[in-house]
């Protein structure tokens, strides 16, 4: 599901128990730099917290979703 290098959005499931200092990261993006079976370390906090995988949502880049032709068309429409 996840791997080192993936961009993720930090979300919070109802059942999650977070420490008060973790809430400042809610809805922020980060990159996974180490991962275990159920938890990951993120760059956003330099690995200070173990984040449950179920609280992370993979963020896909446009290159993962669109073809090169679609990206070129969008860039032309937006004068990029």
Q: What is the pLDDT of residues 24-67, one digit of tens each?
A: 999 999 999 999 999 999 999 999 999 999 999 999 877 777 88
Sequence-separated contacts (24+) of 40-43 with Cβ below 8 Å: 40/2, 40/8, 42/8, 42/10
Contact 59, 9 (CB under 8 A): yes
Give dist(CA 58, CA 38) in Å, integer.
15
* pLDDT confidence bin for 10, thresholds 50/70/90: very high
**pTM higher than 0.95 for the full model?**
no
Tens digit of pLDDT for each residue in 61-72? Answer: 777 778 888 888
Which has the higher per-residue pLDDT, 13 or 7?
7
What are the structural domain ranges in the chain?
7-77
Q: What three-state secondary structure class fits 23?
A: helix
Tokens 């993120």, residue located: 42
């Amino acid at each position: 599901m996840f791997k080192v290098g993936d961009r993720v959005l930090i979300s919070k499931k109802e059942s999650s128990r977070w420490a008060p200092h973790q809430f400042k990261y809610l809805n922020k993006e980060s990159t996974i730099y180490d991962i275990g079976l159920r938890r990951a370390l993120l760059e956003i906090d330099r690995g200070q917290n173990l984040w449950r995988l179920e609280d992370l949502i993979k963020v896909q880049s446009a290159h993962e979703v669109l073809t090169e032709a679609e990206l070129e068309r969008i860039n032309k429409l937006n004068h990029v």
